[in-house]
Structure 1
Amino acid sequence: MKVEFIYFGITALVIVYLFVKNRRLTTGLIDTKFQMSLMSKQLQEQVNAELSRRLASENIFSALFENSSEGILMLNENGRFMMCNKAGGTILGYNHSELIGRAMSEISPAIQPHLNRSSFEAIEEVFDDVLFDKQHRFEWCCLTKNKTEVMLEVVMFLLRRSGAKEIFMMCRDITELKRLQKEKEANQALLIQQTKLAELGSMIGVISHQWKQPINTISLLTQMLESDFEDGELDEKAIKEHIKSVNKQISFMVQTMDDFRDFYKPSKEKTSFSIIKVIASVVGLMEGQLLKDKIIVNLTGDETLLALGYSSEFKQVVLNILNNARDAFGSKSAKNRNISICVESVENTIELTIRDNAGGIPEAILYTVFDSFVSTKGDKGTGIGLSLAKTIVEKMNGKISVSNTVDGAEFKIILPLISK
């Protein structure tokens, strides 16, 4: 009886143990299934959120792409068009389907007119940089379907979509802007020439004054030649000395005429020129007037410093500043009339300083002297000279400024220094 009771107790404990263990196992499986279900739901929500975000992003891109007033085109990494919005087709003069699969060089002239190099080589160089994540902004000439040239301002950069490299291109038509720029430059060139012609009478007076001395010298040498002949002193040596003296005077007159001709000859294209040599030629032209007004010009600097631009136009800048100084001296009673001109190199630039001791510019107009129709000469001036000087200097990528010193005015012109 006692043994049966013990056996029953052990059996009961085993049953309870197995029941509890089975219940725990069942509960664990239920908990695991719940947790997995919860994780799956969260993952699905994240996937749906990411899909929604990407879809919204694509919708925004698509809206911007289609509705932009700028031309937007997508190119593959081989440089061929994949996508083109409506504005892009209108600007380039093609239908959408006609552009897809074509390369930039195929809708461009063989030579880029503003670069003077092959379109194929130029655009390949751009693509190489863009594919290395370098953004490019540049001007480009394209040909429409009817072979009309269109000038574009283009921005290109690398875009990665779906793991692939694509080139994003945005462009706008600047053909009319370029036409207006050329028209403006032509008008400026005409104004420069008209300003020179307006001074023609004065410059002829300068030439006439400068020629008086050599003509008088030649006349005197001729008389001496006749006198020496009559006195029997005319030998071979004397004749050679006379010829040398006459040729020297004639050379001076010829040089004066060459400077005069060069000054009035319009510059057709940009060239490199020595700043100090150009200034020297202008000072040479004005030498007669400067001596008459008892003005001493001291020119110093390095002849090897070269600038890029239109030398004839730059002469007009120098002439305007020197003429202003002459006029300022005319209204002052300064005894020692000096103009110092210095040309030097400062940090890869040419710095030209023209300083006088004529009393300076009235403070009321000092900061507006480069504006049109503002004159340092009052009613006697047109107010065009210094405005024109500023335009010419800026066209050479330079800067011009003016300030007053203790006893006069100082003009400073800074130009890019080009390689010798």
Structure 2
Amino acid sequence: MEKIDIIPWNENFCTGINQIDKEHKKLVEIINNLATEFAYNTFKLDINTIFDELIDYTKYHFTSEEIIWDKYFKNQEDSEKHKKAHNNFINELHNLIKLQKKKPIEEIAEITLDFLVQWLVSHILETDRFMAYKVLSLIDGDSIEKAHKIAIQKMSGETKKLTTLIMSIYKVLSNNTLKLMREKARQEKVQKVLEEEKNKFEDIFKYSKDGIAILDLNYNFLDFNNSYLNMLGFSRKELLTKSCIEITAPKDIKKSIKAMEEVVNKGFITNFEKQCCTKDGTLINVNISASLQPDKKTVLVITKDVSSLKILEEQSKMAAMGEMIGNIAHQWRQPLSVISTAATGIKLQNNIDILTKEQLDSMCDTINNNAQYLSKTIDDFRNFIKGERVIKEFNLFETFETFMELMKGTIKQNFIKVNINVPKDISLNGYPNELIQCFINIFNNSKDALKNKDDDRIININAKIENNNLIIIFNDNAGGIPEEILPKIFEPYFTTKYKSQGTGLGLSMTYNLITTGMRGSISVYNKIFSDNKHSKGAEFKIILPIDDKISIK
């Protein structure tokens, strides 16, 4: 912390009496220290301690002065006035200390320093010098009367003008100096914050497990951390000769260029996925967030290797496929039975010549309606399995209808009552198939738990907008999840089922899709419901932030 003098010592302050001049310099030093503390707002010492030092030294100095004055003109009018001025100064300092409880420190600083500068400069230049001139004259052998006249003469005329000028200069100088000191202190604090932020960024850049790179607007690498190098397998020297496009899988080059254009125009992108080529030619799946830097010339890219997540997705999807194929087989039994019965009926009635046109039309309509139902089931299944990860606008209520159609067979087969309360006017921009997969995984967890319940198997699904978030809640009355299991529920491969019954991937996949893919959160807890039986069950709560990806229509 640099010390800037709010009262620079000047030879005009010298009285000619060494002891007094030495003590005046000390007083000026204390005031300058106080001003520095005020300006930088450091207060390494308590402000009361600083004031106490000022008061203690002032009393010591005033006593020294008064001993000298009393030696030469005790009980004279000038000496008594001087003592009274000293007492007034000490009283004013005590009043300033009391202001701490009533005014902010900045205001106290200005009032205190303005008082100290004006009082000290005025007291030294006028009162103390006048008294010193008298003492020096007496030392030279002059009488009291002559000494008084000499002091008046020296303090009048040009000297008086000079004193007034110096006092006015110091008033402006002290105010401006305090402002400059405060501005300098503010800049130093800002610089310190910037330096701390820079160090934090450098630590994150250096030690982050995610790959971090800095690109220019032509996609060339300017810098990167070790995690980025380890992810791709290149050396620093090798990667500095390449561009981001060069390491992109050919099929993803066009969308990568488009993504970079979006960063330049919009300022950022999040959750952009593509494949990159490592040094040995292996393709890895990456999730990228990028932001345009303040200089508008560089882009910060944060890259996660999600290859293992993709494998997890596929495993989870295959498990879901197997279950849904079973669902479809179950759903198809009744319409296939209806079609078979209608076809057999047509043939039989035709063989015995009792088939009328009306009966034929009716049975054909029955066959067609059931065939359309089978076709729709296949379309829903195909759309889910296709799973293209393309952001598109979709209606939340319609997504739940698709989910319910896919799970219709399971719901019926397991005698589950599903209560859905979802507004029809919420539209989202996102990934509907991934959201459906999350719903299926949560539903299956409840379904498996409900198998141990003999009657009233209930799953409730609610959705609402709350505090700029979309809230989706699934709960059941299956008795809840054991407390020791709750913290592990989203861990991959964690399952309480036999290996033949589950992979332990469903809820882990759901957690990753919600938190990483949709920038939301998911939690689970046990809850007692206020129904007639005070049922207990597990409640899953999904929170998706409302921003440019979610709208209410």
* Cα offset, 1:303, TM superposition: 2.6
Counterparts of 1:351-370 in structure 2, within 5 Å, are: 351-370=471-490
Instruction: Give the direction of change, closer, same or farther, for the CA distance of 1:253–1:41 in structure 2 (3 Å limit).
Output: closer
2:375 pairs, out of 254, 259, 274, with 254
* Cα offset, 1:245, TM superposition: 0.2
1:244 pairs, out of 333, 348, 365, with 365
Within 1, Cα distance between the matches of 2:178 and 2:453? Answer: 84
Q: TM-score, normalised by structure 1?
A: 0.62
Cα RMSD (Å): 4.5
Q: Is the 8 A contact 1:399 1:414 kept in 2?
A: yes
Within 2, Cα distance between the matches of 1:396 and 1:409? Answer: 23
Within 2, Cα distance between the matches of 1:298 and 1:327? Answer: 18
* Cα offset, 1:208, TM superposition: 2.0
Q: Is the 8 A contact 1:70 1:88 kept in 2?
A: no
1:292 aligns with 2:408: no
1:350 pairs, out of 470, 476, 489, with 470
Q: Is the 8 A contact 1:298 1:341 kept in 2?
A: yes
Query: Which consecutive residues of structure 2, in runs of 5 or more, have no partner in the other structure?
Result: 1-148, 200-213, 223-256, 270-288, 529-534
* Cα offset, 1:344, TM superposition: 3.6
Within 2, Cα distance between the matches of 1:336 and 1:302? Answer: 25
Query: Which consecutive residues of structure 1, in runs of 5 or more, have no partner in the other structure?
Result: 1-20, 72-86, 94-110, 123-137, 141-149, 156-168
Q: Is the 8 A contact 2:293 2:299 kept in 1?
A: no
Q: Is the 8 A contact 1:70 1:170 kept in 2?
A: no
User: Residue 512 of structure 2: SS of its match in structure 1?
Assistant: helix
1:199 aligns with 2:199: no
Instruction: Give the direction of change, closer, same or farther, for the CA distance of 1:190–1:236 in structure 2 (3 Å limit).
Output: same
1:32 aligns with 2:153: no
User: Residue 213 of structure 1: SS of its match in structure 2?
Assistant: helix
User: Residue 209 of structure 1: SS of its match in structure 2?
Assistant: helix
1:313 pairs, out of 430, 434, 445, with 434
- Counterpart of 2:399 in structure 1 is 278
User: Residue 540 of structure 2: SS of its match in structure 1?
Assistant: strand
Instruction: Give the direction of change, closer, same or farther, for the CA distance of 1:70–1:402 in structure 2 (3 Å limit).
Output: closer
Q: Is the 8 A contact 1:369 1:376 kept in 2?
A: no
1:401 pairs, out of 506, 520, 523, with 523
Quick check: which one's helix share is greater? 2
Answer with 384-393 or 30-39: which moved more: 30-39
Within 1, Cα distance between the matches of 2:358 and 2:341? Answer: 18
User: Residue 174 of structure 1: SS of its match in structure 2?
Assistant: strand
Within 1, Cα distance between the matches of 2:194 and 2:332? Answer: 73
1:174 pairs, out of 260, 282, 300, with 300
Within 2, Cα distance between the matches of 1:65 and 1:218? Answer: 75
Instruction: Give the direction of change, closer, same or farther, for the CA distance of 1:31–1:196 in structure 2 (3 Å limit).
Output: same
Deviations 1:238-276 (A, max 9, x none): 221111100111111111111111111123222222223
Counterparts of 1:37-76 in structure 2, within 5 Å, are: 38-39=166-167, 42=170
Deviations 1:200-255 (A, max 9, x none): 33322222222222222111111110122133332322221111100111111111
Q: Is the 8 A contact 1:365 1:374 kept in 2?
A: no
Instruction: Give the direction of change, closer, same or farther, for the CA distance of 1:51–1:117 in structure 2 (3 Å limit).
Output: closer
User: Residue 484 of structure 2: SS of its match in structure 1?
Assistant: helix
Within 2, Cα distance between the matches of 1:302 and 1:62? Answer: 49
User: Residue 460 of structure 2: SS of its match in structure 1?
Assistant: strand
Within 2, Cα distance between the matches of 1:172 and 1:64? Answer: 24
* Cα offset, 1:189, TM superposition: 4.6
* Cα offset, 1:153, TM superposition: 5.4
* Cα offset, 1:64, TM superposition: 7.8
Instruction: Give the direction of change, closer, same or farther, for the CA distance of 1:151–1:323 in structure 2 (3 Å limit).
Output: closer
- Aligned letter for 2:300? I
Q: Is the 8 A contact 2:477 2:536 kept in 1?
A: yes
Counterparts of 1:53-202 in structure 2, within 5 Å, are: 113=259, 116=262, 119=265, 139=268, 152=291, 154=293, 174-175=300-301, 177=302, 179-180=303-304, 183-184=305-306, 188-202=309-323
Q: Is the 8 A contact 1:375 1:381 kept in 2?
A: yes
Within 2, Cα distance between the matches of 1:61 and 1:92? Answer: 33
Instruction: Give the direction of change, closer, same or farther, for the CA distance of 1:41–1:295 in structure 2 (3 Å limit).
Output: closer
- Counterpart of 1:96 in structure 2 is none
Instruction: Give the direction of change, closer, same or farther, for the CA distance of 1:34–1:300 in structure 2 (3 Å limit).
Output: closer
Q: TM-score, normalised by structure 2?
A: 0.49
Instruction: Give the direction of change, closer, same or farther, for the CA distance of 1:281–1:92 in structure 2 (3 Å limit).
Output: closer
Identity over aligned pairs, percent: 27
Within 1, Cα distance between the matches of 2:169 and 2:180? Answer: 16
* Cα offset, 1:314, TM superposition: 0.7
User: Residue 302 of structure 1: SS of its match in structure 2?
Assistant: coil
* Cα offset, 1:190, TM superposition: 4.7
- Aligned letter for 1:369? I
Q: Is the 8 A contact 1:375 1:383 kept in 2?
A: yes
* Cα offset, 1:385, TM superposition: 1.8
Instruction: Give the direction of change, closer, same or farther, for the CA distance of 1:61–1:199 in structure 2 (3 Å limit).
Output: closer
User: Residue 445 of structure 2: SS of its match in structure 1?
Assistant: helix
* Cα offset, 1:401, TM superposition: 2.3
Q: Is the 8 A contact 2:262 2:268 kept in 1?
A: no
Within 2, Cα distance between the matches of 1:204 and 1:240? Answer: 32
- Aligned letter for 1:353? I
- Counterpart of 1:339 in structure 2 is 459
Within 1, Cα distance between the matches of 2:360 and 2:539? Answer: 50
Within 2, Cα distance between the matches of 1:188 and 1:368? Answer: 18
Within 1, Cα distance between the matches of 2:175 and 2:422? Answer: 74
- Aligned letter for 1:342? N
User: Residue 335 of structure 1: SS of its match in structure 2?
Assistant: coil
- Counterpart of 1:410 in structure 2 is 539
User: Residue 536 of structure 2: SS of its match in structure 1?
Assistant: coil
Q: Is the 8 A contact 1:267 1:313 kept in 2?
A: no
* Cα offset, 1:328, TM superposition: 1.0
Within 2, Cα distance between the matches of 1:26 and 1:41? Answer: 21
Within 1, Cα distance between the matches of 2:471 and 2:190? Answer: 53
* Cα offset, 1:383, TM superposition: 3.5
Within 1, Cα distance between the matches of 2:433 and 2:178? Answer: 66
